[in-house]
Amino acid sequence: MKKRFKLEFNRDKCKGCEICVSFCPKKLLALDKEVNSKGYHPACITDQDACIGCQSCALMCPDCCISIYELEEGE
Amino acid sequence: MKTVFAPTSGMTPVDTSYCPGCSHGIAHRIIMECLEERGALGRAIGVVPIGCAINAHHFMNVDMCESTHGRAPAIAAGIRRVHPDKLVFTYQGDGDLASIGAAEIVHAAHRGEKFTTFFINNAIYGMTGGQMAPTTLIGQRATTAVDGRTVEQAGMPLRVCEMLATIDMAVFVERVMLTNPAQVRRAKAAVHKALDIQEARKGFTFVEFLSACPTNWGYAPVDALKWVEEKMAAYYPVKNFRTVEL
């Protein structure tokens, strides 16, 4: 069965640098239209189901904003 | 639900004071991840410099000591000598280590002090607003070299790894860059290797990180990473200069 992943962003820590957006091999990340408490447009994921869990975004995030979870069956 | 990647407990929940896209955050994270993976957060002592990383003791979740400008290696040497069971590291930028602290780093390496130095080279003075550093590239603009650095006026940029690799007791010297996920993994391996050698008390260990300073360079964060790959890595080759078998 295809592995499924969940990507979580710490919205208020994000500074909207767009590095994660540029390194996603599936081009799933984008900057939100809303701003966070710092006034930056934080990164968000546009298609959660298409994430392949490669960790490229999390490895490049300078602000430790990204957590990745592997979903089990039924979750 | 299984965790694949989570922020390391080696970083405090405090928001860093670094600009968006600054490579300091990546360097902090991989050093702290390495310490966490070794179970060493409780026995690590860091010494932080003057520069953008002056506030690193708020972000790194280990015991830390603030140093005077450029003197972190002297302080770390003392700490390591009285605490031989601790992992001691300094975290210094190029304005701190390569200019005012050049004497301290050379002599710490020369004496074979058994701590590790993490050197963040972003080719500019970050905290004070983008002045020319000893590592600023030829042609690179800075607030004190508005038309770009020239050989005539400021000589050539200083290659710190190459300089330290000539010292016998600097047993591990490696330059890495933080420009893409593969390079970040390589950088993390270098940090682990340096800490292994420190624990074996073989001598002085040194890791240089080629880093981006988007704000002072005047580039968008993603373009700044490309600049590191194209321009900085051309002058500062990314490789291992010295290592020792354990």
The pLDDT tens digits for B81-97 are 999 999 999 999 999 99
Distances (CA, A) of A1 to A18, A73, B95: 32, 9, 52
Q: Do B225 and A19 touch (CB under 8 A)?
A: yes
Nearest CA in chain A to B21: A17
Instruction: Give the pLDDT of residue A74.
Output: 82
Nearest CA in chain A to B187: A59
Q: Is A53 helix (H, G, I), strand (E, B) or coil?
A: coil
Interface size A-B, in CB pairs within 8 Å, comes to 83
pLDDT at A45 over 80: yes
Nearest CA in chain A to B188: A59
Minimal Cβ distance to B1: which of A17, A61, A71: A71
Tell me the sheet residues that pair with A7. A68
- The interface predicted TM-score (ipTM) is 0.94
CATH 3.40.50.970 fits B24-242, yes or no: yes
Minimal Cβ distance to B5: which of A16, A17, A67: A67
In chain B, residues with a C-beta closer than 8 Å to the C-beta of A73 are none
Closest CA to B89 of B232, B209, B212: B209
pLDDT at A73 over 90: no
Chain A interface includes B233 (CB < 8 A)? no
Minimal Cβ distance to B26: which of A15, A16, A62: A62
Tokens of B32: 């702290």
Chain B interface includes A68 (CB < 8 A)? yes
In chain B, residues with a C-beta closer than 8 Å to the C-beta of A10 are 7
Phi, psi (5° rounding) for residue B99?
A: -110, -85
CA distance A20 to A67: 12
How many Cβ atoms are within 10 Å of B58's Cβ, its own excluded?
14
Q: Do A55 and B4 touch (CB under 8 A)?
A: yes
- Bridge pairing between strands B63-66 and B2-5: unpaired
Phi, psi (5° rounding) for residue B164?
A: -70, -25
CA distance A69 to B7: 12
Spell B198-207 as b/e; 16+ CB within 10 A means b: bbeebbbbbb
For chain B, list residues with pLDDT below 50. none
Contact status, residue B123 vs residue B136, Cβ threshold 8 Å: yes
Nearest CA in chain A to B220: A17
Instruction: Give the pLDDT of residue A2.
Output: 85
Q: Do A64 and B185 touch (CB under 8 A)?
A: no
Query: What fold, for A4-71?
Result: Alpha-Beta Plaits (3.30.70)
Instruction: Give the pLDDT of residue B210.
Output: 98
Q: Do A72 and B26 touch (CB under 8 A)?
A: no
Phi, psi (5° rounding) for residue B48?
A: -105, 155
- Bridge pairing between strands B170-177 and B204-210: parallel
Minimal Cβ distance to B184: which of A22, A38, A60: A60
Chain B interface includes A36 (CB < 8 A)? no
Tell me the sheet residues that pair with B209. B120, B176
> B102 to chain A, minimum CA–CA distance in Å?
28
> A6 to chain B, minimum CA–CA distance in Å?
9
Instruction: Give the pLDDT of residue B246.
Output: 85
Chain B interface includes A52 (CB < 8 A)? no
HEC-encoded secondary structure of chain B: CEEEECCCCCECCCCCCCCCCCCHHHHHHHHHHHHHHCCCHHHEEEEECCCHHHHHHHHECCEEEECCCCCHHHHHHHHHHHCCCCEEEEEEEHHHHHHHCHHHHHHHHHCCCCCEEEEEECCCECCCCCECCCCCCECCCECCECCCECHHHHCCCCCHHHHHCCCCCEEEEEEEECCCHHHHHHHHHHHHHHHHHHHCCCCEEEEEEECCCHHHHCCCHHHHHHHHHHHHHHHCCCCEEECCCC
Q: Is A50 helix (H, G, I), strand (E, B) or coil?
A: helix
- The domain limits of chain A are 4-71
CA distance B231 to B223: 12
Chain A interface includes B19 (CB < 8 A)? yes
Instruction: Give the pLDDT of residue A31.
Output: 97
Contact status, residue B49 vs residue B74, Cβ threshold 8 Å: no
Interface with A, mutate which of B1, B3, B4, B59 (most A CBs under 10 A): B4
